[in-house]
Amino acid sequence: MSRADITALVTALGDIAAVLREADPVDKAEVYRQLGLRLNYQPETQTVRAKVDLSAHRGVMVCVRGGT
**Domain residues of the chain, as ranges?**
3-56
Instruction: Specify the pTM.
Output: 0.51
Please count the CA atoms within 13 angstroms of the CA of 44 that sit on its side-chain side.
Answer: 0
pLDDT tens, position by position, 17-52: 788 888 999 998 888 888 888 889 999 999 999 998
Using the predicted structure, report yes or no on whether residue 1 has a pLDDT greater than 90: no
Q: Which residues of 28-49 are buried (b: 16+ CB within 10 A; e: fewer)?
A: eeeeeeeeeeeeeeeeeeeeee
pLDDT band at 58 (very low <50, low <70, confident <90, very high): low
